[in-house]
């Protein structure tokens, strides 16, 4: 009997111990579950964290794009502003006529394309009047015509080979009271020979270009050109008479590329100096 009571007592103790263990484990399990729930409650959901990360990425991207846009707009604005500033301070572009071989003090325009020989003589005499000494007047032709067309207006009797040796560009003007004609050349050899052949009729042919040259008007067909030297250049000069040494018409070639015709040595020297200056400045 004592043995049976002892066994019951041991069983009771075992059961009590098992219950205590189970109760402790239950409480511990509840504690762990509650801790996990609390941590889970504190930690934001994964979807929310991902959304926040995406939002930050988008904000950074917008900031980057916006900054780049502002930089580009600012750079373009600065560039256009600089260009506008340059445009305002830049000197105006002056269109130089292709027929202006030397710098002129003044320029006037004549529409001679449909003029006759007499009409040109009157119009040129009007614009050439009262040009100050040392000043250069460029008489521009508008619309532009070729050298051959200009010679046709003057009704010159120049040899065909000479006319063909001329380029289409020419310049007419006045230095002080002395008119001049400068013609670009295509062939110096043909121009040289052609000018010698033209000398017999040149004074009468070019009278419309020298309306105030009374000495040229008095020239007869017996007058002949002579060789002279001006600034170490060979020049052909037509004296004003048998006893006169003052030329009333001269011509020479500049660098074998241009023909210069004028009616005074001073004007010829000025033209050669100006052409030399233009050549050196290029």
Domain boundary among 35, 61, 89: 89
The CB-side HSE value for 197 (13 A sphere, CA atoms) comes to 14
Count of residues in the chain: 282
Q: What is the mean pLDDT of the chain?
A: 84
Overall number of domains in the chain: 2
Q: Are residues 274 and 142 in the same domain?
A: yes
Structural domain contains residue 96: no
Q: Which of 103, 175, 172 is nearest to 133 (CA)?
A: 175
Instruction: Write the CA distances from 126 to 10, 43, 114, integer angstroms.
Output: 152, 103, 18
Structural domain contains residue 97: no
Q: Are residues 130 and 38 in the same domain?
A: no
Structural domain contains residue 275: yes
| Segments forming the whole domain that contains residue 9 | 2-89
Q: Output DSSP code: residue 43.
A: S
H or E stretch at 175:
strand 166-175
Q: How much is the pLDDT for 91? A: 59
Q: Are residues 149 and 66 in the same domain?
A: no
Q: Are residues 154 and 209 in the same domain?
A: yes
Q: What is the mean pLDDT of residues 150-159?
A: 97
Structural domain contains residue 21: yes
Q: Are residues 7 and 130 in the same domain?
A: no
Q: Are residues 174 and 73 in the same domain?
A: no
Q: Are residues 197 and 266 in the same domain?
A: yes
Rounded CA separation 7/13 (Å)? 10
Domain boundary among 89, 115, 130: 89
H or E stretch at 26:
helix 2-42
- Which band of pLDDT confidence, cut at 50, 70 and 90, is reported for residue 92? low
CB-CB contact of 272 with 260 (8 Å) = yes
Q: Are residues 71 and 152 in the same domain?
A: no
165 Cβ contact partners less than 8 Å away, ≥ 6 residues apart: 185, 186, 187, 188, 189, 190, 191, 194
Q: Look at 89 and 275; give whichever has higher pLDDT.
A: 275
Structural domain contains residue 100: no
Q: Tell me: the pLDDT tens digits for 35-57?
A: 566 656 555 555 566 677 777 77
Q: How much is the pLDDT for 55? A: 74
- Which band of pLDDT confidence, cut at 50, 70 and 90, is reported for residue 26? low
Q: Are residues 77 and 215 in the same domain?
A: no
Confidence (pTM):
0.67
Angle between helices 147-154 and 117-128 (to 10 degrees): 100
Q: Are residues 85 and 136 in the same domain?
A: no
Q: What is the mean pLDDT of residues 177-194?
A: 97
Structural domain contains residue 125: yes
Q: What is the mean pLDDT of residues 262-274?
A: 96
Structural domain contains residue 54: yes
Structural domain contains residue 198: yes
H or E stretch at 109:
strand 106-110
Domain boundary among 25, 55, 89: 89
Q: Are residues 146 and 235 in the same domain?
A: yes
Q: Are residues 85 and 114 in the same domain?
A: no
Q: Assess whether pLDDT exceeds 80 at residue 163.
A: yes
């Amino acid at each position: 009997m004592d043995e049976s009571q002892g066994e019951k007592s041991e069983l009771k103790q075992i059961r009590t111990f098992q219950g205590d263990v189970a109760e402790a484990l239950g409480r511990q399990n509840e504690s762990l579950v509650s801790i996990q729930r609390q941590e889970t409650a504190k930690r934001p959901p994964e979807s929310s964290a991902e959304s926040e990360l995406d939002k930050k990425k988008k904000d950074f991207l917008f900031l980057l794009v916006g900054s780049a846009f502002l930089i580009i707009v600012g750079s373009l604005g600065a560039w256009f502003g600089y260009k506008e500033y340059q445009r305002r301070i830049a000197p105006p572009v002056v269109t130089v006529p292709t027929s202006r071989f030397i710098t002129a003090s003044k320029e006037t325009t004549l529409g001679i394309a449909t003029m006759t020989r007499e009409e040109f003589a009157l119009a040129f005499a009007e614009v050439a009047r009262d040009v100050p000494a040392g000043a250069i007047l460029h008489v521009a032709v508008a619309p532009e015509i070729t050298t051959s067309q200009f010679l046709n207006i003057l009704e010159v009797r120049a040899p065909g080979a000479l006319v063909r040796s001329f380029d289409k560009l020419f310049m007419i003007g006045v230095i002080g009271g002395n008119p001049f004609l400068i013609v670009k050349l295509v062939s110096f050899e043909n121009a040289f020979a052609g000018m010698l052949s033209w000398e017999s009729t040149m004074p009468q042919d070019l009278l419309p270009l020298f309306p105030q040259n009374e000495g040229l008007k008095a020239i007869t067909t017996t007058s002949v050109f002579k060789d002279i030297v001006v600034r170490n250049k060979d020049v052909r000069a037509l004296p004003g008479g048998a006893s006169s040494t003052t030329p009333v018409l001269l011509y020479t070639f500049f660098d074998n590329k241009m023909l210069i015709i004028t009616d005074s040595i001073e004007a010829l020297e000025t033209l050669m100096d100006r052409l030399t200056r233009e050549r050196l400045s290029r």
